């Protein structure tokens, strides 16, 4: 039975993955590690929650040995917009942190999950049906760390036999923990704004189409990949996975089906618009579907219904329309 360490456990993916894996494998077999111990009471109350800096390799090694870890979901990372504003810090966390994890995995035999992203592609990449193997010349520091991360994980697999596996995630939408500084964050903020204010001011153009995925599908994909037969994996780092492709005006139209008075305004942020335009519109994820049975469950209507239902409870918002807790 797996004994798992999750780095970046207090982040958007990590917080939900920790709870899901504790339910699946048992609370004492899933150790959460974040750099902000105080920010998640539920993680602290449902199992071990450590606090260390991912740039401290010794701290990772100590945690792996103390808890007899055999699998590391390495989620600690700065996201695209924050990374563009802090490139040196982003390189240190996203690359030096990953190298620390891979070195510990090489020494201890741990398997490693690495989250790559559509951010690993750039404007020269075919933007429609983006192939599994294609040109990757991202223009953001975040994207550079994701391509370098994919190559580093493949290197540790080929050179040292470390069982590394990864996914190129699209924008992820969730209701539990807000994302921390990504270019696709509008697709989360919009649901909160629809319920709290009845309107949202979007920082991307109305027609900026991007790959997206609801968090339950992202968690299922990560676990399915890590449980897959390694002999059947034609790729390691990293598989394209997607669930839907939409633009801000698509998600606004879907929200209006449930909140008819919802109003969308646009105030484009040049930085985040330029990042989004450098990414593909939709990926070809046929390799993940054939190699390990990837199938998303949520499309835009299903995600919108669930997001609004979950957030109405979280925000104590009225059933009809928006304008819940201010």
Give catalytic residue positions.
142
- Whichever of 174 and 304 has its CB closer to ligand VAH, that residue is 174
User: Which residue is closest to ligand VAH by CB?
Assistant: 182
Which one of residues 8, 14, 149, 179 is an interface residue with ligand VAH (CB under 6 A)? Answer: 179
Residues of this chain, 183-202, that bind ligand VAH according to CB under 6 A: 183-184
User: CB 232 → ligand VAH: shortest distance, Å?
Assistant: 26
User: CB 305 → ligand VAH: shortest distance, Å?
Assistant: 22
- Report the C-alpha gap between 13 and 8 in whole angstroms: 8
Annotate each residue in 141-170 with x if it binds ligand VAH (CB under 6 A) or - if it does not, as one string: -x---------------------------x
- Whichever of 101 and 172 has its CB closer to ligand VAH, that residue is 172
Which residue, 210, 298, 215, is CA-closest to 246?
Answer: 210
Q: Number of C-alpha atoms within 13 angstroms, CB side, residue 275?
A: 28
Which one of residues 11, 171, 296, 324 is an interface residue with ligand VAH (CB under 6 A)? Answer: 171
Strand ranges (E), the chain: 4-7, 30-34, 49-51, 71-74, 111-117, 128-130, 164-169, 171-173, 199-202, 210-214, 239-240, 244-246, 263-266, 282-283
Residues of this chain, 59-98, that bind ligand VAH according to CB under 6 A: 79-80
Helices (H), 51-185: 57-66, 80-85, 87-91, 97-108, 141-160
**Size of the residue set binding ligand VAH (CB under 6 A):** 13
Task: Rule CB under 6 A: say whether 248 interacts with ligand VAH.
Answer: no
User: CB 211 → ligand VAH: shortest distance, Å?
Assistant: 7
Question: Is the separation of the CB atoms in 35 and 89 below 8 Å?
Answer: no
- Whichever of 17 and 31 has its CB closer to ligand VAH, that residue is 17
Residues of this chain, 278-307, that bind ligand VAH according to CB under 6 A: none
Q: Could you tell me the two tokens for 200?
A: 């949202």
- Whichever of 118 and 244 has its CB closer to ligand VAH, that residue is 118
User: CB 126 → ligand VAH: shortest distance, Å?
Assistant: 17
Annotate each residue in 99-128 with x if it binds ligand VAH (CB under 6 A) or - if it does not, as one string: ------------------xxx---------
Strand ranges (E), 174-304: 199-202, 210-214, 239-240, 244-246, 263-266, 282-283
Per the listing, tokens 């990042």 go with 275
Question: Distance between alpha carbon 35 and the CA centroid of its chain, in Å?
Answer: 17
User: CB 212 → ligand VAH: shortest distance, Å?
Assistant: 8
User: CB 244 → ligand VAH: shortest distance, Å?
Assistant: 13
Give 183-186 contacts, CB < 8 A, sequence gap 24+: 183/79, 183/80, 183/81, 183/119, 183/272, 183/275, 183/276, 183/279, 184/210, 184/212, 184/276, 185/81, 186/248
Sites of contact with ligand VAH (CB under 6 A): 79-80, 117-119, 142, 170-172, 179, 182-184
């Amino acid at each position: 039975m797996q004994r798992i360490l999750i780095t970046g456990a207090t982040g958007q993916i990590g917080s939900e993955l920790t709870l899901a894996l504790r339910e699946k494998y048992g609370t004492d077999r899933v150790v959460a590690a974040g750099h902000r111990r105080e920010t998640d009471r539920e993680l602290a109350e449902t199992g071990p929650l450590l606090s260390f800096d991912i740039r401290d390799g010794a701290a990772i090694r100590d945690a792996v040995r103390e808890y007899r870890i055999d699998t590391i979901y390495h989620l600690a990372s700065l996201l695209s917009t924050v990374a563009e504003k802090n490139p040196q810090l982003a390189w240190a966390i996203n690359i030096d942190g990953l190298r620390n994890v891979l070195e510990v995995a090489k020494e201890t035999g741990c398997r490693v999950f690495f989250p790559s992203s559509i951010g690993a592609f750039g404007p020269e990449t075919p933007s429609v049906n983006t192939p599994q193997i294609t040109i990757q010349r991202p223009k953001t520091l975040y994207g550079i760390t994701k391509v370098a991360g994919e190559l580093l994980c493949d290197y540790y697999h080929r050179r040292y036999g470390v069982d590394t596996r990864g996914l190129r995630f699209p924008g992820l939408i969730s209701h539990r923990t807000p994302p921390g500084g990504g270019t696709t964050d509008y697709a989360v903020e919009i649901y909160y704004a629809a319920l709290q204010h009845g309107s949202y001011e979007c920082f991307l153009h109305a027609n900026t189409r991007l790959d997206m995925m609801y968090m339950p599908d992202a968690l299922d994909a990560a676990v399915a990949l890590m449980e897959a037969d390694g002999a059947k994996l034609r790729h390691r780092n990293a598989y394209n996975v997607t669930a839907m492709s939409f633009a801000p005006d698509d998600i606004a139209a879907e929200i209006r089906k449930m909140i008819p008075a919802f109003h969308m305004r646009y105030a484009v942020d040049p930085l985040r618009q330029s990042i989004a335009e450098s990414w593909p519109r939709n990926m070809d994820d046929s390799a993940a579907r054939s190699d390990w049975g990837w199938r998303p469950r949520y499309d835009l209507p299903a995600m919108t219904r669930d997001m609004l239902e979950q957030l109405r409870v979280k925000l104590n918002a009225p059933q009809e329309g928006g304008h819940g807790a201010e």
